[in-house]
Amino acid sequence: MTPRHKFSKEKYDAVIIGAGPAGIFAALELTRKNGWRVLVLEKGFEMAKRKCPVRGERLAGCEIGCRPCSITCGWGGAGAFSDGKLTLSPEVGGWLAEFVGQRELVRLIDYVDKVFLKFGAPHHVHGADRDLVEEIRQRAMLAGLKLIADPIRHMGTDRCPAVLQAMRDDLDGKVEVATRTPVGGILVESGAAAGVELEDGTAITAGAVIAAPGREGANWFAGQAQALGIGMINNAVDIGVRVEVPSLIMKPLTDALYEAKLLHYSKTFEDQVRTFCMNPEGYVSKEAYGEVITVNGHSYSDHGSGYTNFALLVSTRFTEPFKDPLSYGRSIARLANLLGEDIIVQRLGDLQIGQRTTTARLERSTVRPTLMKCTPGDLSFVLPFRHLRNILDMLEAMDELVPGVNARETLLYGVEVKFYSARLKLSKSLETKVKNLYAVGDGAGVTRGLVQAAASGVVAARAVSEKLACR
C-alpha cells in the first residue's frame, strides 16, 4: 500500500499522533514562537469530509459501522460533534492537576479558554452568578448532593465544528497535516522516540512524538505502551444510564448553571454517582466505540427539543488482579446491544416495579424519546444490581433538589459507558519513560474533556519546544 499523503520532509522536529483537541492545541502551541517542522497524523478525515451516512438532525444512530467512524475520529476528534461544552473549572475534566499542580492548571485553563474565544467560541459564560450558585449548592447539600461549581461556555453541536475548522485554517501552511493516515507504531532508538511507522510501513523520523490518540485510539496506544514497557495505572470506569425528562423540571438548575455537576454517595453502597453531560433542550444520541454502541447526548445553540437529558454514572475502580476496566465496560455495553439491538429505553416507573417497558407503554408516556431508534426494554437485565441501585438512590436524592426527576415517566437509556483510558506513568511535562515521547489527552488517560485535553497538549508542546530550542 502506498502512503495517502506525500510527506514534505525527511525528518520532522515533532510528530503529533491524533488531531483531537490535545493534538490541535499541541500544534497551535508549537507554531506560536518557533518555526518547528511539525507533522500531524490523523486516521480520520478533514472536518469538511467528516460525513456520517446515518447522521440526521438528531444523530439517530449507526447500523453501518464505517471505518474509520467520522463521528469519533477525524480533525477535531470525537469532541467535534459533541455538545461543545468548555468547562472552566480545574475540578472537572481530568487529572491534569496531578501532573502540573492546581495553580498551573487554573492558568492553563484560562489560556486555553482565550484560544477558544479567539477562534469563535461564544463569550457568554453560564454559572457566573456566584450568589445563585451558592444558593443551589446549599439546597443540594440538604439533599445529600455535592454541587461542583463549573462555569461553562456552550458552543453547541452546530457551532463546535466551525471553531475547530478555524483552528485548522490557522495552522494551514504552518504545520503539515496528513489525514486518513493511521499510525501503526512508535519508533524508538536507544531509549528515545525516533518517529513513527505508519500502518502501510512508511517510517517517519522525528525528534519528538506527542501521542494524542483520543478515546478511539486508546486501545492501540495501550498496546504501544505495553510493548515499550511504559507503566500504566487503571482509571475508574464509569457505567450508567442517560436520563431524559421535560426541560421544565430541570430549569431551576439549567437556567442558572446550564450544566449541573452533582456528586452523590449512594445510601445503599456509598458508591460515587455523578451527573455528566447535561443537555438542556437537548437530544439523546448514540455513539460507536469499535463494535459496541453506547448512548450519549447533545444540544444545539439555536433550537431545542423540550427535554433535558443527562448521564448518571457510577464510578468503579478495580483492584488486583483485574486490570482491564475497558473490557468490563464494553462487555456491559455489548449485553445492552444484544438485548436491545443497540440502545434500550425504559420508563423509570417500570424499572421500579420490575417490569419491562413495552412499545405500548412507551407510546402512552408523557415523555417521548428524542432518540429516534431505540428498543423499549428492561435495564435490570443489563446493569449489575449494584450500579442499578446506586442510580436509583441518586434519582431519589436529585428529586429533593429538583422535584419531578424521580417520576414514573422519566426515561432511562442504557447503557452509557465512559471509556477512560489507562493512565500512563508520566513526568510533570507528560513525558513517558521513553525519552521524547509524550502522552496527552483522553486517549492517554490524562483528561476527560475538551478543555483539559487541550491544556495537556499545551503542556507537552511547551516541553518539546524547550527541548528543541536547546539542541
Higher per-residue confidence, 35 vs 313: 313
3-state secondary structure of 413: strand
Nearest to 210, CA basis, from 434, 461, 465: 461
3-state secondary structure of 111: helix
d(CA 284, CA 424): 32
pLDDT in tens, 134-147: 999 999 999 999 99
Spatial CB neighbours of 260, under 8 Å, sequence gap ≥ 6: 136, 147, 250, 253, 254, 275, 278
How far is residue 432 CA from its own chain's centroid? Answer: 23
Backbone angles phi, psi at 454, to 5 degrees: -60, -45
Burial class, 20, CB count within 10 angstroms (exposed 0-12 / middle 13-18 / buried 19+): buried
pLDDT of residue 6: 85
Confidence of residue 255 (pLDDT cuts 50, 70, 90): very high
Is 90 exceeded by the pLDDT of residue 54?
Answer: no
Confidence of residue 80 (pLDDT cuts 50, 70, 90): confident
* Percent of the chain's residues with pLDDT above 90: 69
Judge contact between 33 and 465, C-beta under 8 A.
yes
Nearest to 19, CA basis, from 41, 47, 50: 41
- Domain ranges (residues) in the chain: 11-122+159-233+424-469, 130-150+236-418
Judge contact between 106 and 452, C-beta under 8 A.
no
pLDDT of residue 56: 47
Mean pLDDT of 312-319: 85
Length of the chain, in residues:
471
pLDDT of residue 122: 93
> Where do the H-state alpha helices sit in 378-449?
385-401
pLDDT in tens, 397-430: 999 999 999 999 999 999 998 866 567 889 999 9
pLDDT of residue 328: 86
**Is CATH 3.40.50.720 the classification given to domain 11-122+159-233+424-469?**
no
**Per DSSP, what are the bridge partners of residue 347?**
411
Lowest mean pLDDT among 19-28, 165-174, 188-197, 289-298: 289-298
Mean pLDDT of 275-291: 88
Mean pLDDT of 349-372: 95
Regarding beta strands 38-41 and 85-87, do their DSSP bridges make them parallel or antiparallel, or are they unpaired?
unpaired
d(CA 68, CA 187): 23
pLDDT of residue 60: 40
pLDDT in tens, 87-102: 999 988 889 999 999 9
Nearest to 235, CA basis, from 418, 99, 454, 414: 418
Nearest to 40, CA basis, from 80, 86, 74, 66: 74
